[in-house]
Amino acid sequence: MKILVPVKRVVDYNVKVRVKADGTGVDIANVKMSMNPFDEIAIEEAVRLKEKGVATEVIAVSCGVAQCQETLRTAMAIGADRAILVQTEAELQPLAVAKLLAALVAKEQPGLVILGKQAIDDDANQTGQMLAALAKLPQATFASKVEVIEGRARVTREVDGGLETLSLSLPALVSTDLRLNEPRYVTLPNIMKAKKKPLDTVTPADLGVDVTPRLKTLKVAEPAARKAGIRVGSVAELVDKLRNEAKVI
């Protein structure tokens, strides 16, 4: 069974992002870029399934600029067998990415697609659900545990009331949550091995997909600074401030 794992190149989570002076977007010049943390969890889970003998091949996929090759090499250093880059300079919105991935699913015929539940740059949480709809795959989102038993995927997910367990027929799609696993540390020998693994490059035109943006960003602005908290001396003072200053009661 093949496992397809989409990964996204994003601003590293340790970096404080800055908005461009003209408000057109986030400034990524000379900023450290890394793999989206949720996608790193997805790659780790796919590799673990392969190590258990459930999967025979793990394929990492990324959509975007040429520098996404670095992200794919990281995925192969973690344990992916090969990678595919859908290279384009165009702005890729979730629907466009989902269409590109659907085309690759049709081509590669994976038994399982595992991807992060969301990317930390746009926080859209849309691509997985859109891909499942386009590729007509059963889906389990926000997975905290994944097992493949007797040809079915058994996925435990966190919901408001506790835990929910779903049984999916394969092929299927799973999106990962933070508590699914802890990604392994990438060692230097594995980084060197990753350089020799195959990485294919295609374009959206090769896949027959139009990636023209459907949405237009009007303005990007930083959130307003929060005021410092204060201590109150009594319950009466707290109630007074909630009623007269915050006006929430």
Domain map of the chain by residue range?
2-244
Res. 160 pLDDT band, cuts 50 70 90: confident
Domain 2-244: state its class.
alpha beta
Give the C-alpha separation, 46 to 40, whole Å: 10
* pLDDT of residue 60 exceeding 90: yes
Nearest to 77 by CA among 110, 118, 119, 34: 34
In this structure, the chain runs to a length of 249
Q: Which residues face 201 on adjacent strands?
A: 85
DSSP β-bridge partners for residue 175: 115
H/E/C letters for each residue in the chain? Answer: CEEEEECCEEECCCCCCEECCCCCCEECCCCCEEECHHHHHHHHHHHHHHHCCCCCEEEEEEEECCCHHHHHHHHHHHCCCEEEEEECCCCCCHHHHHHHHHHHHHHHCCCEEEEECCCCCCCCCCHHHHHHHHHCCCEEEEEEEEEEECCEEEEEEEECCEEEEEEEECCEEEEECHHHCCCCCCCHHHHHHHCCCCEEEECCCCCCCCCCCCCCCCCCCCCCCCCCCCCCCCHHHHHHHHHHCCCCC
* Lowest-confidence pick of 18-27, 95-104, 170-179: 18-27
pLDDT at position 171: 94
Give the model's pLDDT for residue 217: 86
CA distance 151 to 169: 7
Report pLDDT digits (tens) over 207-230: 999 998 888 888 888 888 888 888
Indicate whether 20 pLDDT > 90. Answer: no
Record the pTM.
0.84
